[in-house]
Amino acid sequence: MKVLIPGALRSYTERGEAEASGATLADVLADLDRQYPGIRFRMIDEQDRIRRHIRIFVNGEQAHALAQPLAPTDEIIVMQALSGG
């Protein structure tokens, strides 16, 4: 399935889009990490939760759990919050 990658993580993928597969969001992120080592840690914390500054959307709906089931036709968008002052 197609995964849209934010600019801050493109140092891993070298492009704004990647392909990954899996039955759940956790599986897709593991597949991305297999292809682009280290990218999962930038999105998922040590307690296996989506990091506070990351939002992941599946077909336009925000995902809250890594166990969320996915279909091969789903589109995933990873967004990173901006901060500063």
- The identity of residue 4, as a single letter, is L
How does pLDDT run across 26-71, given as a tens digit for each residue?
A: 999 999 999 999 999 999 999 999 999 999 999 999 999 999 999 9
Q: Judging by beta carbons within 10 Å of its beta carbon (0-12, 13-18, 19+), is residue 77 exposed, middle or buried?
A: middle
Instruction: Return the domain boundaries, the chain.
Output: 2-80
- What's the CATH architecture for 2-80? Roll (3.10)
For the chain, state the CA radius of gyration: 12
Model pTM greater than 0.85?
yes
